[in-house]
Structure 1
Amino acid sequence: MEMTIDEPVWLRRGSWFGCPLIGAALGAGLYGIANWAVTVTWFPWQKPFQALLEIPKPWGLAGLLALGLVAGWLFAAVWAEQRLIVIVSPGSVRLQRGKKKRRIEARLTAVFKDDKELVLLGADGKELVREKTDLSEAALAKGFSGHGFPWHDEPPAER
């Protein structure tokens, strides 16, 4: 039986709502900063803020809100494309990042997380895989050790 190790559902789904909302809030905040910046004589880059405020009232703010929404949505899309999904089954490991898929069926001598990277060592002790990930170390340990792979809490000492 295989086990899929991925970001929590609430985070995957929430990022599609949260990132655009945060982007829109930043856009609105930029409009507020522009209102403040043009009143302070020492503030640099006043001309772009003045130009922003010269846009007719509802359209300047609406434009920044829309720009923030789109930027947040793009950020969520990049996040989704860059996240690592690990599928562990007895005798094989599959890694998926966006459309790129990789299957490892070699005998592994060690599996561990080195900082923010998942590392799989082959039979000769050489790295087969080193992938950046934010996946929980506890979930990775459970998935790998539960399927007979040698999980290490720390990188093994070099021989």
Structure 2
Amino acid sequence: METIVDEPQWLRTASWVGCPLAGAGLGWFLQSISGWVASLSWVPFKGPFQLVSDIPQPWGTVTGIGVGVVLGLLFAGVWAHERLIVKVTPTRITLTVKGRTRAYEAKLQAVFLDGKELVLLAADGRELAREKGDVDRQAVAKAFLEYGYPWHDEPPAVK
């Protein structure tokens, strides 16, 4: 028996579809205005805009869109890599973030969110884990409370 707290499936799917689409749109937009931007006398770093505007069509548009798609995919990959996945069982808490999985089986004094950081405090008061992530506060609280862990809505007072 375990409970997993993760981003919703629709959001994970949307990031892999939406980020490349947004990147394609941005790439097309920047390519389409590059000639105009390069013609402005007050714009610094005209070189890259001039270089982009000098690419013959339709290759300029294709290149702009392609670069945008690749950058969108890279952004979605970083998003997926950085997300925090919390797995709670009656005897173990497993945190996965940045391709690293850590399991904790110690008796806990407190579990809470400090801003966007999930914190696990051992029974002796030392900090076992502090992981940043955009977890749903209610879902993570429910998961810990379901298995009897000492969930706190606020960080406990320092003794």
Per the normalisation by structure 1, the TM-score is 0.94
Counterpart CA distance in 1 for 2:99 and 2:55 is 42
Matches within 5 A, 1:3-42: 3-42=3-42
1:91-113, CA deviations, whole angstroms, 9 ceiling, x for partnerless residues? 21011125321110000110000
> What does residue 107 of structure 2 align with?
107
Matches within 5 A, 1:64-83: 64-83=64-83
Counterpart CA distance in 2 for 1:51 and 1:31 is 10
Query: Residue 45 of structure 1 aligns to which amino acid in structure 2?
Result: F
Query: Residue 6 of structure 1 aligns to which amino acid in structure 2?
Result: D
Question: How many residues align structurally?
Answer: 159
Counterpart CA distance in 2 for 1:44 and 1:94 is 49
Matches within 5 A, 1:144-159: 144-159=144-159
Query: Residue 109 of structure 1 aligns to which amino acid in structure 2?
Result: Q
Structure 1's unaligned 5+ residue stretches are: none
Superposed CA RMSD: 1.2
* Corresponding residue SS for 2:135: coil
Q: Does 1:49 align with 2:21?
A: no
Query: Residue 11 of structure 1 aligns to which amino acid in structure 2?
Result: L
Query: Residue 87 of structure 1 aligns to which amino acid in structure 2?
Result: K
- Large movers: runs of 4+ above 3 Å: none
